[in-house]
Structure 1
Amino acid sequence: MTRSKRRTRRSLQVAGVGAAVLMALSACSSSDDSSSSTSGSSSSTSGSSPASPKLSGTVTVFAAASLQESFTELGKEFEKQHPGTKVSFNFGGSDTLAASITDGAPADVFAAASAKTMATVTDKNDAAGTPATFVRNQLEIATLPGNPDKISSLKDLTKSGLKVVLCDKTVPCGAAAQKALDAGKLKLTPVSYEQDVKSALTKVELKEADAAVVYQTDVKSAGDKVEGVNFPEAAEAVNDYPIVLLKNAPNAEAAKAFIALVQSTKGQQVLSEAGFLKP
């Protein structure tokens, strides 16, 4: 074989080896890319958040009487958002509700009309967390339609012969009314003390009283059944409304979701439309 032929043959052998090496490298690269892609996909899957568990069952909410209209609406919204759930309410005076909770009444959520009544529950360690203020409320005078007694101030409620109803002093609306009277240096003896704000309002609606000191939200919910009168001393007795998950809540997950709805944009909108003030 001539020298020229040997050189050509050697060149072909080198070229063949080079091609084989390139093919091997390409295969490795493809394998690595595939592995990386698979690994990335696996990582992405494992890193995704698990779906929230579907809520079901009954959520029992103990709430101040003044929350009745707005919470009833939010209860319907909650059931709509979470098919299979039901919101059961117990509305009443915050002090009575707090006492029931500390006595062991089964409930998931407590929404009170004052920090003081909420403290009854937290002091007994019956709350699962720290209460959060979600709205505030201010007092207003409810008079008979047309305001026939020409009531224009808190002082007017002290007129002789006027039948005035107040909430009991142990109830948040009663404690606030007393605080407003103290701010105005006024003394008032009502014809009756009622156990919750709705009972005080009803006395006027039924014309059993000429006026009552209630919340502005109650005057608004009553529509044309009463007429409202604002008074400056009310600014000295604004009540914060706290809400909390209860320690032994039978349906804790659904209860948390209800509290979240109350604090959400939708919840705040419903409460604002009812006349509540922002926290």
Structure 2
Amino acid sequence: MTTRSARPTRRTTRTLRVAGVGAAALLALSACSSSDTSDSPGKANASSSSPKLSGTVTVFAAASLKESFTALGEQFEKAHPGTEVTFSFGGSDSLAASITGGAPADVFAAASPKTMAIVTDKGDTATAPATFVRNQLEIATLPGNPDKISSLKDLTKSALKVVLCDKTVPCGAAAQKALEASDLKLTPVSYEQDVKSALTKVELKEADAAVVYKTDVKAAGDKVEGVEFPESSEAINDYPIALLKDADNAAAGKAFIDLVRSAEGQKVLTAAGFLQPTS
């Protein structure tokens, strides 16, 4: 980024020399050029109307955001040379606990307002959380759906090995809400700490099915098969994002949030299967 900001000054100097202007005029114009460099249209476009950004942006994000946020991180780095986006993906509750415990981060993107509240209640956010996407549950089965699972009720069959996210994790809380809406009880073979761990159990054929997000089923490709169920509409999760109070790189963190919420960011997220926010 330093190289690009210096180029207009060199081009201006060469132009003035070719024109053969006097030394006094050259000094005066050079001074004007230096004062105008930060406001030049080319520079503004290169930084997307933001201040010049540099350094590392640390983002803590729900595990279900891994694929889409990784893609957005690459876009961000290309748009802002000199920056690097690093991610910590995991269960939103664990990430929130790490933040309140003092873990250094600039941005937090949670899979539910409840887990974001863990951070806001401690006063650890610098901006009000904003919902940027929503996500809906889906059943992930083995490829080809050999057990012929067609409903949430089918998961209660004793012969099936079913995995759920832990109840403290947003995907697990949403699954419990869907089960309660159906008046169903399900005892899984395990509770996993995040949605990717639950999905992996099916991918490795250690479980017959798991209740995960639509986005995770889509990201898994042909490793699993997805089964929609109507009760999932009763448990759609809003995903909030916020800049953190102790952010080491607040300017870049804010710019990353702006990208996530922009039309370009929403395009990446909806392509991954996320739903747009209701407002």
TM-score by length of 2: 0.82
Structure-to-structure mapping, 1:93-112, within 5 angstroms: 93-112=91-110
Partner of 1:181: 179
User: SS in structure 1 opposite 2:58?
Assistant: strand
Deviations 1:22-61 (A, max 9, x none): xxxxxxxxxxxxxxxxxxxx9xx99x96864310000000
Partner of 1:25: none
Q: How far, CA to CA, are the matches of 1:98 and 1:239 in structure 2?
A: 17
User: SS in structure 2 opposite 1:60?
Assistant: strand
How far off its partner does 1:160 sit? 1.3
How far off its partner does 1:123 sit? 0.1
User: SS in structure 1 opposite 2:220?
Assistant: helix
Q: How far, CA to CA, are the matches of 1:250 and 1:210 in structure 2?
A: 44
Partner of 1:90: 88
Partner of 1:114: 112
Partner of 2:209: 211
Q: Say which is worse superposed, 51-60 or 238-247, in terms of deviation.
A: 51-60
160, 163, 166: which one aligns with 1:162: 160
Partner of 1:32: none
Letter in 2 for 1:224: D
Q: How far, CA to CA, are the matches of 1:71 and 1:184 in structure 2?
A: 33
Structure 2, unaligned runs of 5 or more: 1-31, 45-49
Structure-to-structure mapping, 1:1-279, within 5 angstroms: 52-279=50-277
Structure 1, unaligned runs of 5 or more: 1-41
How far off its partner does 1:158 sit? 0.2
Q: How far, CA to CA, are the matches of 1:55 and 1:232 in structure 2?
A: 45
Deviations 1:254-278 (A, max 9, x none): 0000000000111000000000000
TM-score by length of 1: 0.82
Q: How far, CA to CA, are the matches of 2:66 and 2:51 in structure 1?
A: 29
Q: How far, CA to CA, are the matches of 1:53 and 1:136 in structure 2?
A: 30
Letter in 1 for 2:154: D
Q: How far, CA to CA, are the matches of 2:104 and 2:175 in structure 1?
A: 31
User: SS in structure 2 opposite 1:58?
Assistant: strand
Tell me how many residue pairs correspond in the alignment.
235
Give runs of ≥4 in structure 1 deviating > 4 Å: 48-52
User: SS in structure 1 opposite 2:226?
Assistant: strand
Q: How far, CA to CA, are the matches of 1:245 and 1:124 in structure 2?
A: 14
Of the two, which has the highest radius of gyration?
1
Letter in 2 for 1:89: F
Q: CA RMSD for the aligned pairs?
A: 1.6
Q: How far, CA to CA, are the matches of 1:130 and 1:81 in structure 2?
A: 25
Q: How far, CA to CA, are the matches of 1:234 and 1:194 in structure 2?
A: 19
